[in-house]
Amino acid sequence: MAELESRDTVVLAYSGGMDTSCILVWLIDQGYNVLAYLANIGQDEDFEAARIKALRLGATKVIVEDLREEFVQGFLWPAVQANAIYERRYYLGTSLARPCIARRQVEFARSENAQFLAHGATGKGNDQIRFELTYYALFPEAKVIAPWKIPEFYNRFKGRRDLFEYAKVKNIPLPISPKSPWSMDSNLMHISYEGGPLEDPWVTPNKDMYLRTKDPTESPNQPDELEIEFENGVPVCVTNHVDGTRKDSAVDLFLYVDFIGSKHGVGRDDIIENRFTGMKSRGVYETPGGTILLAAHLDLEGMTMDREMWRIKESLGRQFSEQVYNGYWFSPEGSFVRNCLAISQKDISGTVCVSLFKGHVSIMRRKSLHALYKEELVSMDLPGDYDPIDASGFIRINAVRLKEYSRLCERNGEE
């Protein structure tokens, strides 16, 4: 750990939970002047209680910021535009939140002339990378304190039970009991669960674990139908055809889609994923709003984006997902890919209707003034601007290489 000068100031990414509360006190024990930074990105938290708690534990200053608008506009909407799903299954809820939080943490540290930045991410996971790459990208002179990678810390606290004992000694209020076996992360986009019994991939998650979505088997027996309007690939309005509810501001729109999706059990997933650190991990996720909006956006792209352009854009979307997952939001390649994706969305405007029922998102219909779909052209009843005779030459040209390959196989006695 770095040599301390007189009361060096560190800005800690603080959540109010047990881990970062213990880290806050431990940093004070090491001689640091601790400033706590707590971001509201949609998690279920009593932020005023967390602020008071941090002050009582010894933080000299606590900043609580509402970043929900910034999170939706600056991070979730680009993810929707990219159809961002890591390894085809993970909707990147935590991955998108970390650069949003870390950027503001850096700005707070600069405003307070603090040279140290700290976080509570473990030494095995991805979050340490996301926090620290953001710190170094935006504040190259900063010094990083990551307690779970400091021998004095991780040799003393080998697990959550050791933290509980430390919390008892230091009179740190405990929001959960040692019987809560898994780690959770919550924000507007999702809730994630990992660790504890979930580390055994053969263990089925307890039904009581899920906090956001209703069990699909117990969800309503009547669907909700949402009409989602997009402009340049960004959701701008949602209307519920069942009760007429309409939302058109970014945060309210996302919260409403998430709420209706949760009611119908949409967005549950249980996956094994590849961490950037090289190991595989098991995570269970609830992402109702993101699941719905990405499904609608993907469908609209199918109607409005040229085929060859879509193939390039799909590749860029995969790169976006990997960059976000691996912590490279603030990188030259990250900026380049996001700019390219934004350009690709200039004609992705229109409306998609989805039905939500028993855990499923079903596309019902779609329309757009920018549609490349032409009913007259594709119709089986109308000729359109197309001569079927042309197809024969098209097929023969494309068959040339197949014929030659077949002849080669015959000469070599292969099938």
246, 239 Cβ separation under 8 angstroms: yes
Residue-wise pLDDT for 280-307, tens only, equals 999 999 999 999 999 999 999 999 999 9
Cα 262 from Cα 54, distance rounded (Å): 32
Could you give the CA distance from residue 298 to residue 35 in angstroms, rounded to a whole number?
42
Q: What is the pLDDT of residue 7?
A: 66
Percent of all residues in the chain with a pLDDT value above 70, rounded to a whole number: 97
Q: Is the model's pLDDT at 4 over the cut of 50? A: no
Nearest-Å Rg of the Cα atoms of the chain is 25
pTM for the complete prediction? 0.93
| pLDDT tens, residue by residue, 307-366 | 999 999 999 999 999 999 999 999 999 999 999 999 999 999 999 999 999 999 999 999
Start-end of H helices in 269-358: 288-304, 307-325, 332-344
Burial status of residue 230 (CB atoms within 10 A of its CB: 0-12, 13-18, 19 or more): buried
Q: Report the Cα–Cα distance between both ends of the chain, in Å, rounded.
A: 65
> What was the pLDDT predicted at 383?
76
Phi-psi group of 196: left, alpha or beta (phi > 0 → left; psi -120 to 50 → alpha; rest → beta): left
At residue 393, does pLDDT exceed 80? yes
Residues taking part in catalysis: 19, 98, 127, 183
Predicted confidence (pLDDT) per residue in 176-224, tens digit: 544 557 788 999 999 999 988 999 999 999 999 999 999 999 999 999 9
